[in-house]
Amino acid sequence: MKELLDSKSKKKIDIIEKIFHSNKHSCAQSDLLNDLNLTYPTLISMVEGINNDLLGFGYESFSITRHSYNQSYSIGISENMSIQLVIHAYIRKSSKFKLLELLLTSSYTNLESLSRRLFISYSSVRRDIKDLNQLLSKYSLKISAKDGVRLEGDELGIRLFYTILFLTAYGGELWPFSYIQYLEITKILKDCPKEIYVAGSIDKSMLVHYYFAIHLLRVRKNYLIPETRSFDIALYTPYPKESIEAFDTFTSNLNKYLPNLSNRVLTFTSRLLLSTVLAMGNYSPIDKVPAFFYCEDQLKETKIVETVIFMIDLVEQHLSIPFSSGEKEKLLYSMLSVTYRYFLFKGVSMDLSSTIMGFTEIQRNVRKKHKINHMRDLVSQMMDREELSIFDPFRKELEQNYLLVLEKRIDFSKHTLPIKVAIFSIISNENAVFDFMSYFSNYYNVSIVDNIETDTDIDLFISDFVLSPQVISSLSISQPVVYVNTRWIDSDYEKINTKLAEIATENFINSKGS
């Protein structure tokens, strides 16, 4: 959401990010001047402005310090701060964000009245609206300044856009709604059918709370989703007895906050709210597919469940060790939730990658790269199959989201054959083994060989002393040997990881059906 920032704030963020992502949060002055195309007076002024801004935001523990002795700048940051908090504070301060915030609940008779409300000039409002409409076009939304100023677009899309916008800008630091408190929404959620959401869970709790708040706010302001609006998939309907009872209680509680709705509209609102909760699904406390997916006639007719099960069977063929029943159920639930999301929100943009920093950057951990590469190829092959033709309207989006699900749900340390490793250490094999297992066991199915005479089927040797040709020959070592320092350093872990990834990719990932 950096598009909401003005040019000066963007430049400040560039300076902060450049210093923060430099080694030890310290950056040479020359790098700042050259890489960011700044003059020395501008840099001095900008840094002073940033530090003043940080004090104004209440972030005294985050500051930039200039070191004259070596012409560098560093950031001092405490454990209760992050760079995202600073960026979000700048977003909240921007006139474009404040304009969007006003249009969530109100429309204005003309640009003059809006400019007075924002305390900026008429020309600035016009410029902000022009810039915002470029951003909003990605979400099929628009700020219209004809016959008044208002936000236009699909109401469901408006609610989703503001949910992500406010979640990003405010998070858990501030609660921007005065008409309903966070704990009040928590109370409503306690009676939500537990097959789709478990109250008290911290998993996506903020996301669900923000959506509920915005949904209720828009309804109270009489911005309604018409009952005649068509959906490409059925809205949530409770089927088990306990879910039906929970749904009725949930709807009754909702009536306290939306007292002017008829019973019919209130029921529709409840179904729509819970459908969105289901579509935001893949919640960690839920380990069973909601009955709705099996009982709803429309889902049976479209064969969505059947198709997703087919996909999971294809995935399992590419693993050396199959899923347990519990793992398969979790994976099925996750993939059905993602699939339901795209059918429910068809025509509504969900460009989370441009809104939430790092949302799709799942390869940051180098130990996961071999897994991601394998899964990416697998998902790409699956999505091209004729059996998945029902997903054609959002094939590209689903491909990316299925990859995210598989990365989350498949533990390669369980589903690939073991990589046997022998470790030689001049000081202590026990220490080296502990370091090795602590660092790699969650990413590879690795096992340590204690006796190379009784177990000759070894895939990798690691040693902190050189093995002579005679030793290698006497031990019949034909596999790779990775040499490391006595006390392992980052480059040692990197070398080992490279070799483990090669072994896992070439030898231990089942290639049937690839």
Assign 305 a pLDDT band (cuts: 50, 70, 90): very high
Assign 209 a pLDDT band (cuts: 50, 70, 90): very high
Residue 510: pLDDT above 60? no
Answer yes or no: are the C-beta atoms of 352 and 307 closer than 8 Å. no
Closest C-alpha among 361, 408, 377 to residue 505: 377
Containing H/E element for 447? strand 446-448
Assign 357 a pLDDT band (cuts: 50, 70, 90): low
Mean pLDDT of 75-101: 88
pLDDT reported for residue 514: 42
> Each residue of 421-465: pLDDT tens digit?
999 888 778 888 999 999 999 889 999 988 777 777 888 999 988
Residue 75 phi/psi, 5° resolution?
A: -110, 125
Q: How much is the pTM? A: 0.84
pLDDT reported for residue 513: 40
Q: Which residue has the tokens 């000066």?
A: 8
- Rg, the chain, Cα only: 28
Please, what are the domains in the chain? Answer: 2-82 (1.10.10.10), 93-228+243-277 (no CATH), 303-412 (no CATH), 416-507 (3.40.50.2300)
Answer yes or no: are the C-beta atoms of 258 and 251 closer than 8 Å. no
Cα distances from 228 to residues 223, 236, 237, 272, 330, in angstroms, run 14, 16, 17, 13, 34
CA atoms of 310 and 332, how far apart (whole Å): 10
pLDDT reported for residue 78: 72
Closest C-alpha among 488, 497, 483 to residue 432: 488
Residues paired with 152 in a beta bridge: 142
Assign 471 a pLDDT band (cuts: 50, 70, 90): confident
Residue 28: pLDDT above 90? yes
The answer for residues whose C-beta is within 8 angstroms of residue 455's C-beta and 6 or more apart is 420, 449
More confident residue, 305 or 168: 305
More confident residue, 73 or 363: 73
pLDDT reported for residue 173: 85
For residue 212, the tally of other CB atoms under 10 A from its CB is 25
Residue 90 buriedness (CB in 10 A; 0-12 / 13-18 / 19+): buried
How many Cα atoms sit within 13 Å of 270 on the Cβ side? 28
CA atoms of 236 and 295, how far apart (whole Å): 11
Q: Which amino acid belongs to residue 32?
A: L
pLDDT reported for residue 46: 96
Residues paired with 420 in a beta bridge: 447
Q: Which amino acid belongs to residue 406?
A: L
CA atoms of 261 and 37, how far apart (whole Å): 57
Cα distances from 31 to residues 8, 14, 38, in angstroms, run 19, 12, 10
The answer for residues whose C-beta is within 8 angstroms of residue 52's C-beta and 6 or more apart is none
> Each residue of 237-262: pLDDT tens digit?
999 999 999 999 999 999 999 998 99
Answer yes or no: are the C-beta atoms of 74 and 25 closer than 8 Å. yes
Structure tokens at 461: 């040797």
Closest C-alpha among 493, 383, 362, 502 to residue 438: 493
Cα distances from 139 to residues 58, 99, 163, 354, 479, in angstroms, run 33, 17, 13, 11, 54
